[in-house]
């Protein structure tokens, strides 16, 4: 078993930058498959033997977008572009940048730090997003690019060895200084800060490691085709994006709603009970849309009997504060439902009052007509 006594070498490494965007209410994946047929899209699931433990109601589409060259420092690096399309309206663009082969851990760390918020990645993904959304637009329901988006980076390493070529064990991998590459910090952190900022570390075999943080992760995995952890993290980011989007949407809706209520109350109408009709219809649609899509997002991926993947997925959701975002959405939806009930009650009262006035007028009219006949 390798110890940390020899300098660590990264034999094969890469950084995968994810840029996730909400492009519409939902995407018809079968239609998108037809529209992207020339790019050879496929429905991809994780490749672990336990992959059956992942239940995905509507697997996303993965499509290759080509290759480019990216300048990192003074060196040009090969870049692979791809995208993953989720049925709940999210497009995830991936920029995979290969690190120099057989570089030292310090060199790999320096490479990773240069990629944090690299401006060229933003330019590349912006262009690819425009091209991709133009192609799949007929498959997108209510197409609109949201203001919120998610960024995430996975640093992928096949193996770390000593200068003698012996691979590091899982225990030795835990001794690597991951703070600069994952947290983009140059100064040493205190032990307390490390424990708080890097609490989620996972190993399945004796030579792999996964460390998950808020906006990046390190995955040491000898099996090049084993991308299940990346899949889980990308899915969790897509779910986070939708929760953030609907939270922002409801945040913007509430102040506007109060102004619209005041305007409706001040409006003179022949039938007062109809003053809130358009507002009630809008509220009903907003609550139904938000509830339906948030439920669909949260149920899009379920991890059943794979304890390792379940732990990673749960850690990602905890880091991304998924429960807190959902609780915030539920509170705002409750306000909308209460407002709907209040306005509907007010409208019903106005209708009852109008009906009572009409009945009284009819009675008075009948009395007058009776007196006139005599």
Q: What residues contact residue 66 under an 8 Å CB cut-off, 6+ apart?
A: 81
Q: What is the pLDDT of residues 46-84, one digit of tens each?
A: 444 444 567 788 889 999 898 888 877 777 888 899 999
Mean pLDDT of the region 29-56 = 69
Task: Pull the structure tokens for residue 120.
Answer: 């060229």
pLDDT value of residue 370: 74
Task: Pull the structure tokens for residue 228.
Answer: 């299940």
Tell me if 230 sits within 8 A of 238, measured CB to CB.
no
Indicate the average pLDDT of the chain.
83
Q: What are all long-range contacts of 77-81, with beta carbons under 8 Å and residues at least 24 apart?
A: 79/124, 81/124, 81/128
Over pLDDT 90: what percentage of the chain?
32
Mean pLDDT of the region 315-336 = 85
| pLDDT value at 39 more than 70 | no
Strand 301-303 and strand 90-98: pairing?
Answer: unpaired
Identity of the highest mean pLDDT range in 47-56, 116-125, 232-241, 353-362: 232-241
pLDDT value of residue 47: 45
CA distance 155 to 367: 87
| pLDDT value at 32 more than 60 | yes
Please tell me the least confidently modeled range out of 50-54, 275-279, 369-373: 50-54
Q: How far is CA 58 from the centre of its chain?
A: 16
Q: What is the pLDDT of residues 144-200, one digit of tens each?
A: 999 999 999 999 999 999 888 888 988 888 888 898 889 888 888 888 888 888 889
| pLDDT value at 45 more than 90 | no
């Amino acid at each position: 078993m390798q110890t940390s006594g020899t300098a660590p070498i990264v034999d094969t490494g890469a950084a995968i930058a994810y840029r996730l965007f909400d492009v519409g209410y939902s995407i018809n994946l079968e239609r998108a498959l037809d529209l992207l047929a020339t790019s050879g899209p496929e429905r991809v699931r994780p490749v672990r033997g336990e992959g059956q433990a992942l239940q995905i109601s509507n697997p996303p589409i993965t499509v290759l977008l080509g290759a480019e060259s990216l300048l990192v420092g003074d060196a040009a690096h090969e870049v692979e572009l791809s995208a993953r399309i989720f049925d709940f309206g999210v497009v995830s663009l991936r920029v995979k940048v290969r690190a120099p082969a057989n570089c030292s851990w310090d060199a790999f760390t320096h490479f990773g730090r240069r990629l944090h918020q690299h401006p060229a990645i933003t330019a590349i993904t912006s262009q690819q997003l425009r091209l991709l959304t133009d192609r799949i637009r007929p498959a997108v329901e209510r197409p609109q690019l949201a203001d919120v988006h998610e960024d995430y980076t996975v640093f992928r390493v096949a193996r770390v060895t000593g200068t003698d070529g012996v691979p590091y064990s899982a225990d030795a991998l835990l001794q690597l200084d991951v703070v600069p590459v994952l947290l983009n910090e140059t100064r040493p952190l205190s032990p307390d800060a490390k424990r708080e900022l890097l609490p989620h570390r996972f190993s399945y075999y004796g030579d792999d490691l996964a460390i998950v943080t808020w906006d990046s992760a390190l995955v040491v995995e000898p099996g090049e085709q084993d991308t299940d952890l990346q899949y889980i993290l990308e899915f969790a980011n897509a779910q986070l994006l939708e929760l953030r989007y609907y939270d922002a949407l409801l945040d913007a809706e509430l102040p506007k709603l109060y102004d619209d209520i005041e305007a409706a109350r001040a409006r003179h109408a022949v039938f007062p009970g109809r003053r809130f009709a358009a507002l009630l219809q809008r509220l009903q649609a907003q609550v139904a849309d938000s509830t339906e899509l948030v439920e669909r997002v949260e149920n899009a991926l379920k991890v059943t009997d794979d304890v390792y993947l379940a732990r990673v997925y749960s850690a990602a959701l905890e880091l991304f504060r998924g429960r807190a975002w959902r609780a915030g959405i539920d509170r705002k939806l409750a306000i909308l439902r209460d407002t709907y009930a209040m306005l509907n009650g007010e409208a019903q009262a106005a209708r009852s009052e109008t009906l009572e006035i009409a009945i009284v007028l009819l009675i008075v009219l009948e009395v007058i007509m009776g007196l006139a006949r005599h």
